[in-house]
Structure 1
């Protein structure tokens, strides 16, 4: 239980972004209370242990919700630019989550790198070097 619990910790990256594995309803309530404005779920609909009715539960708490199903092996220039644009447009702070926070960390790092002017190729190489994909 301890390991599973550790994987579900919400980790604040900066003032705009936090990452997590699969979140619980209690965690959704907590991030809403902490002032988060949006949730991006990177999980695919066929993954196990999804939070039932996550979009409905998130929106009932007054948060924006977006499901952006992402597989690490499908990260390419186009998909990254789409999610970068999405993160740019959504109200912040944003919680990005997946099943174990690895995809979330990859997307957050890509966003931060691109925002700082790093090319997609260099940002992707950094993520690969860190073992996130």
Structure 2
């Protein structure tokens, strides 16, 4: 799809606009993720969305399902949150594991090529 849009729309600003507008439009109509709501402690909103989804799918929601979901989703996330806050990242983390070093070098090389391409384009 992106190649087709790029072929039909020549200016890069309009390509960005064409790609971004549907995402922005859908964000007003789609509900939030139930898992995300639960991880943020917004249980009432998550329950409302679950009930709406169940009625749309012609299913019945029970208290057991709701309680299990509420109890399972919050606790593991809180533990993970505490662990990630303890870790301090440095620039060395970009090259420390071999896979991360390869990925970082790939990104840096792509930025370099993009920069030289844009410089050549401006000179012409």
TM-score, normalised by the number of residues in structure 2: 0.22
Q: Which is helix-richer, 1 or 2?
A: 2
Structure with more strand by fraction: 1
Using CA pairs under 8 Å that are at least 6 residues apart, name the structure with larger relative contact order, 1 or 2. 1
Which of the two has higher C-alpha Rg?
A: 2
Give the alignment's TM-score, normalised by structure 1.
0.21
